[in-house]
Each structure stands twice: as structure tokens, then as C-alpha cells.
Amino acid sequence: MNALSADTSIFRSLAGRLEVRMLGLALLLGAILAVLSPHFLATGNLLNLLDQSVVVGIVAIGMTFVILIGGIDLSVGSIAGLTGVLLGLALQRFSIPVAIALAVLAGAGIGLISGFFIARFGLAAFVVTLGMMAICRSLAYICSGNTSISNLPAGLGNIVFTSVLGVPSNVLTLFVLYALAWCYLNYTKGGRTIYAIGSNREAARTAGLNVLAFSILPYIISGALSAVAITFASAEVMSIDPLAGTGLELDAIAAVVIGGASLFGGRGSIIGTLIGVFIMVMIRNGLNLMNVSPFWQGSAIGSVIIAAVLVERLLSSRSATR
């Protein structure tokens, strides 16, 4: 093989990588926004962008895991709402770390229940998590007495406003979580098993992989991270509302899909999801900067979702043998 063809094949494989294509798209979008609005590239605005990415970004990690095994989790927004209320109640009695741990455990437990029903009995993920969505939201109202909780301990704000080397701790957490998820998905037995299950469940089972456990795990992660996300959201506004997290599932799914993951499972990457989150936040932010009515945001993001899926389909059908 000569050097030239080696070069082109490296280029080809780079361009073939989903993340690289998505990064290109994100940079293009950034460039357009920078031209349209002089404020876009201001340091303050960029930090603002990252800050706005934290909540949906953390939830999108769990959603990526779920979508990678070919599932879907519609309950993340409601789990966030419920665990947020539980956090608020726990903070009345326990110390901050214990209260957060309880909320995260509760989220994980809810995910375990959904995951168990889906994986053990082969129920449709859409239906089970739809049911869980309704249950969690209703419990959130019941537990909170349908009022928001605002007498939170002042220390809670520290988890957002402490800065490490100039980076706010919530943004830092976001990146650390993404780094961990990336390592897990690419360099551990569990991560590769999740990909294998999503790509071909039967083959994974026949090869002797633990399909049941690793089909449940993504829902646990998703539930737990919903709780983590709502903790940051609550700390930021220092108030907890049973309505919090409404619509979060759609944002998270949108980020994962824009990030190039296949809803049939097996295909997608955590880096792609992060880029997907940034693209979504950038569109929102850009439209705000340009004084476009916020009612247009849905249309813009919706169009990007459909365009992302279309591009992915066109690219993959060209290389597919089917």
C-alpha cells in the first residue's frame, strides 16, 4: 500500500467517523452564529453556553446508553422531577451529600424497575418508560404537595458556583462524566457489551454475553443521571419545583439523535451526543442573541433533528450493502 492511498484511507475513515462529521457541523453552526451575532463569541456567552448544556448534557449521557442498546427512556424528565422533590425533602433532614446520594439512588432504583420490566419480560421500552413517566410525575406532585420547595440549604449552591481553575464545577462535572462514559463505552467489557447488544442482541446472547444485566444497566444509569442533572438544576436556581424537568426527555433524545446515534441501537457515540447537546444549546442561544422569538426555537431544533437523521440515513445507505 503506498503512502497516498494510506493517506486517503485515513482521511476516509476520519470523515467516516460520526463524531468528526458532527463536530464539523457544530463548528459550521458556530461560525454562522459568530457572523450573525457579534456577541456570540464573547467569553461570557461561551461560558453561558456551557452552563446551559449541563442539565440536558448529563441526562443525554444516560439516554445515549439507553439508545445504544436499542431502547428509549421517556421517563428521564419525570424522574428528574420526582428525584428533585425527594432531594428537597431529604435536604430538610440530612446533610447535602447524603441527600444527593439518596436522590441519585432513587433515580437509579426507578431506572432499575423500568429496565427490569423491559429486559426481563421483553416489554417495549417506549411503553414501559411512558408509564414510568406518568407515575414519576404524579409522585412528584404528591410528595411535594404541589408546591415548590425553596428553603434549601445555602451550601447546595456550592456545587454549581465553586470554580476549579476557572471552570465552574457544574461544567467540570459535565466533562468528567462524559470522559468517564466515553472510557466505559470504549474500553470496558460492559461498554462493548452494550454496543454488541444494540447491534445484534441474538448474536450477543449466543456469544455468551450477559445480555440481561447489560440491557438493564443503561436504564439504571439513565435514572441516576437524571437525578444528578436535577441536583445541578436545583442548585442553580435554589428552588425545586415538581414540574421541573418537563420536556427534558425530548431534549435529551434530540441531542442523542443529532449526535448521530441510531434509534435501532448499536450505533452512536458519547462524543457525538456531547456535540449534539452543544448544537442544540447553540441554536437556542443564537436565536436569543438575535432577538428571535423563543417560540421559534422548537421549529429550529426540530428541523435540525430531522436534517440530522436524514443526513445520517443518506450517508449510511450509500455505504450499506443492504
Partner 1 sequence: MKAQPPEAAPPGDGTREVASTPILAASGIEKTFGRTRALQGADLKLWAGEVHGLLGANGAGKSTVSKVISGQIRRDAGSILWKGEPIELRTSHEAIRHGITMVMQETSLAPDLTVLENIFLAELGRPGFLSFGSMRKRAGQLLDTLGQREALPLDREVRAISPAQRQLVEIAKALALNSDLIIFDEPTASLSPTEVERLFEVMTKLKRAGHTLVFVSHRLEEVFAITDRVTILREGRTVANSVETSSLTQAEIIRFMVGQELKTIYSAHPEQGPTGLPAVLEVKHLRSAPLVHDVSFMVRRGEIAGLGGLVGAGRSETLEAIFGLRARQGGEIRLFGKPFNPGRPADAVRAGIGLIAEDRRVQGIVPDFSVRENLLLGHLAAHHGFGLSYKKRKAKVDELLTMLDLPAHRLLDANMLNFSGGMQQKVLIARWLLLEPSVLILDEPTKGVDIGTRSSIYSMLREIATKGVAVLVVSSDFEELLGLCQRIVVMSDGLSIADVPSAVLDEEKLTFFAAPRTSMKRNTEVLRELVRDLNGAGFWALIDAERLFCLNAVVSNERTDPGFQSGGTPRFSETRIPKALAARSNDFVREADRNLASLVVPVRSRLGHDMGWVGLILDGAAALPPAEPVRRRIETLFAQITSEGSQLPPTN
Q: How far is the CB of 12 from partner 1 (least distance, A)?
A: 11
Q: Which residues pair with 168 in a beta bridge?
A: 163
Buried b / exposed e over 194-227, threshold 16 CB at 10 Å, is bbbbbbebeebeeeebebeebbbbbbbbbbbbbb
By C-beta, is 206 or 303 nearer to partner 1?
206
Q: How far is the CB of 194 from partner 1 (least distance, A)?
A: 11
Cell of 294: 423563543
Q: How far is the CB of 298 from partner 1 (least distance, A)?
A: 32
Q: How far is the CB of 188 from partner 1 (least distance, A)?
A: 6
DSSP assignment of 90-117, as one string? HHHHS-HHHHHHHHHHHHHHHHHHHHHH
By C-beta, is 133 or 204 nearer to partner 1?
204
By C-beta, is 5 or 150 nearer to partner 1?
5
By C-beta, is 242 or 259 nearer to partner 1?
259
Q: Which residues bind partner 1 (CB under 8 A)?
A: 13, 16, 187-190, 192-193, 195-196, 198-200, 202-210, 212, 266-267, 319, 321
By C-beta, is 111 or 198 nearer to partner 1?
198
Q: How far is the CB of 208 from partner 1 (least distance, A)?
A: 3
Q: How far is the CB of 159 from partner 1 (least distance, A)?
A: 28
By C-beta, is 167 or 212 nearer to partner 1?
212
Rounded to whole angstroms, the Cα distance separating 174 from 226 reads 13
Rounded to whole angstroms, the Cα distance separating 290 from 239 reads 30
What phi and psi values does residue 242 have, to the nearest 5 degrees?
-65, -15
| Collapsed DSSP state (helix, strand, coil) of residue 153 | coil
| Collapsed DSSP state (helix, strand, coil) of residue 149 | strand
Helix (H) / strand (E) element for 161: namely helix 158-161
Q: How far is the CB of 314 from partner 1 (least distance, A)?
A: 15
By C-beta, is 193 or 234 nearer to partner 1?
193
- Supply the Cα-derived Rg of the chain in whole angstroms: 20
Q: How far is the CB of 277 from partner 1 (least distance, A)?
A: 23
| CA dihedral angle for residue 87, residue 89, residue 91, residue 93, rounded to 10 degrees | -140
Check: CB of residue 140 under 8 Å from CB of residue 85.
yes
Which one-letter amino acid corresponds to residue 46? L
Distances (CA, A) of 311 to 18, 21, 257: 11, 10, 11
By C-beta, is 95 or 206 nearer to partner 1?
206
